[in-house]
Every structure is written in structure tokens, then in C-alpha cells.
Amino acid sequence: MPPADWDLLLRVARRAKLLGRLEVELSRTGLLGSIPPRAADHLRASRNVIEHRRTLVAWEVNRLLWALKDFDVPLVLLKGAAYVLAELPPAPGRIFADVDLLVPEERIGEIEGALIARGWIKTRLDPYDERYYRVWMHEIPPLRHRERGTEIDIHHRILPRTSRFRSAPGPLFEDARPLRNPRLRVLAPADMVLHALLHLFLEGDPDEGLRLRDLLDVHELLRHYGREAGFWDALPRRARQLGWERPLYYGLRFARRLFDTEVPDSVLEAAGQGAPSWPVRALMDCLVPAAMLPGHPDYPSRWAAIARLLLYLRAHWLRMPTTILVRHLAYKSWLRFRGVGKKVDLAQLDLRQQ
């Protein structure tokens, strides 16, 4: 491949945060030795960061277990921490910054207290954000150990209470599977896929849009668990049970479109129950790929920016009722207008580059 293409590939992969993934694939197929050394350096850099972060996540879980030694409480790992500790296919090549945990709501106070007693610190938030978290959100503000950088996000449900896709977390706990260390659990396969889809469609920001790598995770999980007996039956059934049919429908649709994921016809049919009306489907067919696929870094697409914004608004709309949404977005825009958002000061070169 000519250097100009490598140049562009590196830039685009970096923007989509898939540089590490590229490195893993090239390494796996034994091709790392045949690529231009300059490109190999960038991939190597990415790998170093990823391996470092992975160790940090695994260690944070180790410390978590130590701090909660006397607690008999189900600790369900979510997202990146789950992928890493359960050694699932989405783990290689991905950067994971935080540890996400799901615990029963009634135990959160104790758990938070135990962690603080053992050296973790609460994130200080302004009163608006603090209230936002405690009242509306599905998680408490992040905790961070005073010496380490890794954040722990403790969730008591998968989605905000206010979300249009809300559902009680009970069934998730019931079917969670233990890891080698029985004190840790991960979501059952169908739940894990559904959670990843919710995460994909309900989060994201106007700059980055929907994350392609999150859809790639879903593709990988489907491929991995697809081999397990009973998985394909469970998936649409669970989606129906928990009220998450719409995200499942979109997830399967776009995974097939972008990654050619193999999904049994019966499942597609069952998932079709969650399909939206035709105009909505057509609109999403336009918006999602535009918001998800990375563009050329030097020639940004106006249309893609619009798609990203629309889907960002939609994600918020799905997370909270309209009245609160309007207030929330207004407040956040006002903050941005006042320049409260973080802009990097180039003159102060931070030595701690994480």
C-alpha cells in the first residue's frame, strides 16, 4: 500500500479509535513486519497505551475486590472491564479507561462508603451535576483512588431512570454469569449484547458521533456468542422482555450492513418486531452510517456533522423526559457558550499524558 494511503489510514483509524485494533489484526496475521516502519511506530505506540490501560483496569478490579472483601454483594462488571476480565473478543486493541460496575441499588451507599474508607475519592461536581447524577442517572458520580487514575463508575441500573428504555435491573442480576473468580460476574450473553447496543445508541457526542468501534464490539460479541447454544433464541426474547427491541433491531441492521455480521433469519424476523415505521427507518439508514463512519480528516462533511448532532439529540431524548432534556441541554449550551468547556492550553505541557 502506498505511503499516502498509510498516512490516511493511520489518521482515520486514529480518529475512529481503531488504531489499536489495526495493530492487533496485523500482528495476528503476521504482517506487522512488512509495513512501513513509521506506520509500525504509530501502531506500536497505540499498543503500548492499550496494554498499559488494560493492566490498570485489571488491577483496579483487584483493588476493588480487596476493598470489598467483607461484602457479600454481586459485583457485575460491565463494558470494557467485563471484556478484559472475561477475555472476550472486543478486548484486544481497545482502550478502556474506567471500571464499570453494576450493583444492587440498596447496597450502593455501603459500597461507596467502603471504597472511600480505603482511599477512593468522590468526584467533586457542581450542585447541578451532582443532582443530575443522584436523581436522574443510573450511576453515582465516579470514584477514583487517590493515587491511581482509574475511575470506577458504579451503576445501579443500565439506563437512567428517566430513559424511555428504562427497565428494572433485577433480571440482569439473576442471569449474570460468574467469572473464574466467583466474586465477579458479567452479564449473560444476550444482556451483554443488548447493553452494548444501548451504550452505542444512547451515548456519544456531537464531535465523535456514534462510535464505530462500539458497533464493532457488538459484531464481535455476536460472532463469539453466536456459537453458543441457545444464544440466538435468547437474544430477541430478552430484548422483548426488557423493552429493548428497538436498539436490537438497529444494532442487527447496522452490524450486518457495515460488518456483514451473520445473523440467523429467524432472529432477524423476531427482531423485526422492534422495527420503527418506514420513514423513521429510512431516516436512520441515512443518519447512522453518516454519524458513524469516519470521514477524511482534512475534508469534514457538513452532512456528517448534522447527522452526529441529530443523533446526539436523539440519544439525550431517549435518556430523559422532554422537559428535563430541554433544561439540561440549555444549561450545557450555556456552559459551552461561556467557555467552560476544556480547551487545551498548549503552553502548559502536561507531563502526565494519559
Give least dist CB 60 to another protein, A. 9
- Tally of CA atoms within 13 A in the half-sphere of 187 that contains its CB: 28
122 φ, ψ (degrees, to nearest 5): -75, 145
Give least dist CB 3 to another protein, A. 5
Grid cell, residue 235, equals 437474544
Is the CB of residue 217 less than 8 Å from the CB of residue 90? Answer: yes
Give least dist CB 44 to another protein, A. 4
Give least dist CB 49 to another protein, A. 6
Q: Which is nearer to another protein, 3 or 178 (CB)?
A: 3
Grid cell, residue 150, equals 482509574
147 φ, ψ (degrees, to nearest 5): -105, -20
142/99 Cα distance (integer angstroms): 10
Q: Which is nearer to another protein, 52 or 131 (CB)?
A: 52
Sheet holding 177-178, edge to edge: 120-122, 143-145, 151-155, 98-102, 75-78, 184-186, 177-178
Give least dist CB 102 to another protein, A. 24
Q: Which is nearer to another protein, 13 or 267 (CB)?
A: 13
Q: Which is nearer to another protein, 49 or 275 (CB)?
A: 49
Give least dist CB 146 to another protein, A. 7
Q: Which is nearer to another protein, 89 or 295 (CB)?
A: 295
Per-residue b or e along 201-218, where b marks 16 or more CB atoms closer than 10 Å to that residue's CB: bbebeeebbbbbbbbbbb
Question: β-strands 184-186, 177-178: how paired?
Answer: antiparallel
DSSP-assigned letters across all residues of 271-296: HGGG---HHHHHHHHHHHHHHHS---
Q: Which is nearer to another protein, 58 or 325 (CB)?
A: 58
Residues that bind another protein (CB under 8 A): 2-4, 6-7, 10-11, 14-15, 36, 38-39, 41-42, 44-46, 48-49, 51-52, 55-56, 58-59, 62-63, 66, 69, 116-119, 121, 124, 146, 297-298, 300, 342-354
Q: Which is nearer to another protein, 105 or 126 (CB)?
A: 126
Tell me which residue of 163, 172, 198 sits closest to 324, measured CA to CA.
163
**Region for residue 313 given its phi and psi (left: phi exceeds 0; alpha: psi -120 to 50; beta: otherwise):** alpha
Q: Which is nearer to another protein, 51 or 174 (CB)?
A: 51
Give least dist CB 99 to another protein, A. 14
**Region for residue 300 given its phi and psi (left: phi exceeds 0; alpha: psi -120 to 50; beta: otherwise):** beta
